[in-house]
Chains A and B, each alone.
Chain A
Amino acid sequence: MPLVVDLRASEASDPGLVGGKGAALATLARHGLAVPPALCLTTAAYEIFVDAASLRPVIRQELGRKNFDDMRWEEIWDTALRIRNRFLRASVPQVVTAALAERLIGDFASTPLAVRSSAPGEDAAGASFAGLHDSFVGSRGIDEVIEAVRSVWASLWTDRALLYRRELGIDPDRSFMAVVIQPLIQGEVSGVAFGIHPTRPGHLAVEAVHGLNQGLVDGTIEPDHWAIDTATGGIAEHRPPESRRRLTLTAAGTEIDDLGEAPAPLDAHRLGELAAALRAVETIFGSPQDIEWTIDAGNLVLLQSRPVTTSTTDESDKRAWYLSLTRSLDNLRGLRRRVEDDLLPAMDREADEIAARDLDSLDNRRLAAEIEDRRSTHDRWVDVYWREFIPFAHGIRLFGQFYNEIVRPDDPHEFMNLLVGTPMLSLRRNQRLAELAAAIRTDPQLASSVQRGELDDSNFSARVDAFLDEFGDAVYGHRAVFEDRRGLIRLLGTMAAAAPTEQAFGANDVHEMTAAFLAAVPAARRQLAEEILDVGRVSYQLRDDDNIHIARHKALVIDAVDEGRRRLCSTPTAGEEITDPDQVVAALRHPNLVVEPPPEPVALETAEGIRPQPRQLVGQPAGPGVATGPARRVTGVDDLFDIEPGEVLVCDAVEPNMTFVVPMASAVVERRGGMLIHGAIIAREYGLPCVTGVPDATSRIQTGDRLTVDGYLGIVTVVPRPPDEHTEDRHVAD
């Protein structure tokens, strides 16, 4: 099997060898259409690489941690990140480098190159995955090309690629990647064109930008859009962008210029030429095509052709939406301004307005209306959270990818260490609690009164009130966390009795790690690196803070619902058993309503006489270290205040509003999976071992079970609690 082929050679028509993109380019060239000269590093080279680096067992092990259908998007992203890091750290065998180096002559030696993914099957009719894998522009010389090739190979295992290929079983023995290498044509105008308009039957679609089309493809630059009548060739619609911008190649990568009042990139003549090209490629391939093109020195050149994309994703699978949230740095900058300057202040302002309303003055019907109003306001902000805040979390992903490409660390999540210490609201809250606990620790009289559950010290009591004024809106599940002040006092007493907890990294550590990272970045990309790190930090901070902001609105709903429940408790037909807000509203409006009891929970796994007992549970490694301690299963607000120092926090989902207990824990175990979830973020802040994505964690693990949490391997070992065991603990985290 050849390692490198010229796409004009006869074997280049085999998609198994050159991939979908390579085979399509070879076909276009054979039919005389203008395409750039291209070499293809075949799938045989990919196989030599993955076998030499033993990557297939790595992929299999990473994908085998749990059923793919059970993975959350964060877990899929982490899995892809770990696989990608192994690819980036693996050496490319000399035989591959040498085979490619000897072909990089002529145009391939004198100009920057485009290095494009070309996976077999990716462009097959009916299974076209546009933009699923990575392509790189601007590589020069064999070293840079090999770096780009390795990244293209790794992109066979990106999160989105995993999700789209899951129907194929994602078998590493049947997954291959070829790479197309072309001299980069820095066309004056570039774009895409579709043989079928996505929304207007009987039309073609053309999108065009000035400069390279990289910005159009990744969504950074808004293009001019045309719909062309397929039968007549007439222009049915031209939709210009809000502003025209141009992406060009620089020494540091790419840059974007604002073009001001620049004219549309295409005229009617060019559009006619593109329509003719679409017809020609449709005839060649036998189905409508989606083409990428550029205009080089006045001539139309086709960069690739594939069948018009057909979505094979399950519409109900929300993970595809999450993983589609790849955002360019430019896009994230805009999103940051909107979130920081507009959305968060507006959310807080509205919460202040609602909090000023007096519930006592409302009769039952008005209270019911107030509950509905608060719920709809909360729902509206939850909607904003999904649309605006979750996409911003991509800032962490963007930094992680950039860091791993530069540093290639042993630990693919090492980049998170540069994000810790970001001034998150939850850390400020935890710091306030630590200060209150420290005051108790140094004052025996105060400690004694706290132990009795009383606060004789008016000065300290005022400090507790000040804490509650600032952070009292925390909500966990459907209850206010600090609704019972005694729970907070008990927690402070427990914290005071234990040794003070410190964050894993001080400001100096983070400063040093940041400096080391920036020193590793080539000078031309250092400013970009600083910007990506900055966006990553804000994204990391917001990932936690937004939940605390939005919790204020949830707390306001709970206040009103609780007021309703309090009133209903005094009526004979409805009372404390009402927990559903809908039922509270209905009961306030209809005093004679009969309330249905809530359904019984369903048992996990039962068979007559057989009792399942976990011994060793596999999840995702989310915080390095190993710790052993008794489990504290937290399923509601009341459990939070029972936690003892050294216990392992076990819960379904750690929420930012409950992370004040984490500093006391020796480790964190969570059913929800991934590195970007709050449990993993806060565990890393305090240097605690953390395993996430443990299926049925809170059903299988009981409070008091002795756990060993291996945060390196993502394993939790369980020894059931003996009936008379006391709560000794041992912390061996490093």
Chain B
Amino acid sequence: MSHDPSHLEILRELLNGQLLGVLGTHHDGEPYTSLVGFAATPDLRRLFFATGRATRKHANLVADARASMLVDNRTNRPADFTEAAAATAVGIVEEIGPGERADYEDIFLAKHPHLETFVRSPSCVPLQLQVSVYMVVTRFQHVIELHFD
């Protein structure tokens, strides 16, 4: 067995250690990416984030809930090509319902306490990406998919 940490460990480290991810959405075939603060649930099945109701990404998600989010630990050095890890989550985005709001705030604000005013603003939409698969990339090109049954 290899000495490398398992891809699940790498994924957990990325999701817990990184503050921001790149959200990928689209509208009528026009791709769009945006940097968002996120937090993962302990079972890694959901990624919480938030956006203003008037944003382009929100409009895109209302039109098509399919989205992806890239989370990585690059440091903008040449060594990133071999040392950085990245995970792309793919799934469906939905708005947090009233029954899930407490969980959402506990998890999201524990990681981003400075976003409390933003998250509680009436114009902010709390969202979750329901992940169906993660693609974990290490060593530049080594790719393992982690599927949720």
CA distance A602 to B7 in the complex (A): 17
Q: Is A442 part of the contact surface with B, judged by Cβ < 8 Å? A: no
A to B CB contacts below 8 Å, 23 in the list = A57-B81, A60-B82, A66-B4, A67-B2, A67-B3, A69-B3, A70-B2, A604-B1, A605-B8, A607-B8, A609-B45, A609-B148, A610-B8, A610-B44, A613-B146, A614-B143, A614-B144, A614-B145, A615-B144, A615-B145, A616-B142, A618-B139, A618-B141
B81 touches A61 (CB 8 A): yes
Q: Is B147 part of the contact surface with A, judged by Cβ < 8 Å? A: yes
Q: Is A125 part of the contact surface with B, judged by Cβ < 8 Å? A: no
A612 touches B146 (CB 8 A): yes
A64 touches B81 (CB 8 A): yes
Q: Is B75 part of the contact surface with A, judged by Cβ < 8 Å? A: no
Specify which chain B residues have a CB less than 8 angstroms from the CB of A61 in the assembled complex: 81-82, 140
Per-position 1/0 for B9-44, Cβ under 8 A of A: 000000000000000000000000000000000011
Name the residue of chain A whose CB is nearest to the CB of B8.
A607
CB distance from B147 to the nearest CB of A (A): 5
Q: A60-B81, A60-B82 are in contact. Are A66 and B2 (CB under 8 A)?
A: yes
Name the residue of chain A whose CB is nearest to the CB of B12.
A607
Q: Is A696 part of the contact surface with B, judged by Cβ < 8 Å? A: yes
B78 touches A67 (CB 8 A): no
Within 8 A of A (CB), among B53-108: 78-79, 81-83
Within 8 A of B (CB), among A294-324: none
Task: Please classify the interface of chain A as helix (H, G, I), strand (E, B), loop, or mixed, using the class held by over half of its residues.
Answer: mixed
Q: How many chain A residues touch B (Cβ–Cβ < 8 Å)? A: 29
Q: Which residues of A come within 8 Å of B, CB atoms?
A: 56-57, 60-61, 63-67, 69-70, 604-605, 607, 609-618, 695-696, 700, 713, 715
Within 8 A of A (CB), among B90-149: 135, 139-149
Q: A64-B82, A614-B144, A616-B143 are in contact. Are A696 and B1 (CB under 8 A)?
A: yes
B144 touches A613 (CB 8 A): yes
CA distance A582 to B108 in the complex (A): 59
CA distance A604 to B142 in the complex (A): 17
Name the residue of chain A whose CB is nearest to the CB of B133.
A613
CB distance from A615 to the nearest CB of B (A): 4
Specify which chain A residues have a CB less than 8 angstroms from the CB of B8 in the assembled complex: 605, 607, 610, 612
Q: Which of A56, A67, A610, A715 has the most CB of B within 10 A?
A: A610
Q: How many chain B residues touch A (Cβ–Cβ < 8 Å)? A: 27
B81 touches A695 (CB 8 A): no
A66 touches B139 (CB 8 A): yes
A56 touches B145 (CB 8 A): no
B82 touches A615 (CB 8 A): no
B141 touches A610 (CB 8 A): no
CB distance from B41 to the nearest CB of A (A): 13
Name the residue of chain B whose CB is nearest to the CB of A56.
B78
Q: A57-B81, A60-B79, A60-B82 are in contact. Are A67 and B145 (CB under 8 A)?
A: no
A611 touches B149 (CB 8 A): yes
Name the residue of chain A whose CB is nearest to the CB of B142.
A618
CB distance from B27 to the nearest CB of A (A): 27
B2 touches A695 (CB 8 A): yes
Specify which chain A residues have a CB less than 8 angstroms from the CB of B147 in the assembled complex: 610-613
CA distance A644 to B141 in the complex (A): 29
